[in-house]
């Protein structure tokens, strides 16, 4: 099992609706995210969840062009299982 942190970077392709939501969110600060050369926008995972969480429903993810998130392998770490039982 692998772990991916909430502060780690994800990449997504946004639909026109997704771009509108993003621009609406950041325009008040005079800040606009731009896609990379392949059309992906980068977010920290928590930031993406915060902006788009309310738009993500079963059968309704019109803020994304594709229903996938790209994760960078450099952020993946081995999951360390924690035991819930105490030895006495």
CA gap 2, 67 in Å, rounded? 21
State residue 58's pLDDT score.
81
Q: Is beta strand 9-12 parallel, antiparallel or unpaired with respect to 77-78?
A: unpaired
Run means of pLDDT, 10 residues per run, the chain, 88 residues: 91 96 91 94 96 86 88 85 64
State residue 18's pLDDT score.
95
> CA distances (Å), 33 to each of 21, 23, 53, in order?
12, 8, 18
All structural domains of the chain with their residue ranges: 2-74
CA gap 11, 44 in Å, rounded? 9
Dihedral, 82, 50, 48, 31 alpha carbons, nearest 10 = -140
71: alpha, beta or left? (left if phi > 0; alpha if psi -120 to 50): beta
State residue 84's pLDDT score.
65
State residue 88's pLDDT score.
54
Kindly report the number of other CB atoms within 10 A of residue 22's CB atom: 19
């Amino acid at each position: 099992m692998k772990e991916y942190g909430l502060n780690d970077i994800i990449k997504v392709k946004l639909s026109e609706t997704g771009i509108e939501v993003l621009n609406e969110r950041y325009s008040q600060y005079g800040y606009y995210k731009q896609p990379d050369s392949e059309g992906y926008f980068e977010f920290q995972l928590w930031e993406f969840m915060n902006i788009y969480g309310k738009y993500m429903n079963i059968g309704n993810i019109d803020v994304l062009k594709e229903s996938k998130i790209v994760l960078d392998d450099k952020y993946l770490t081995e999951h360390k299982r924690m035991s819930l039982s105490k030895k006495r």
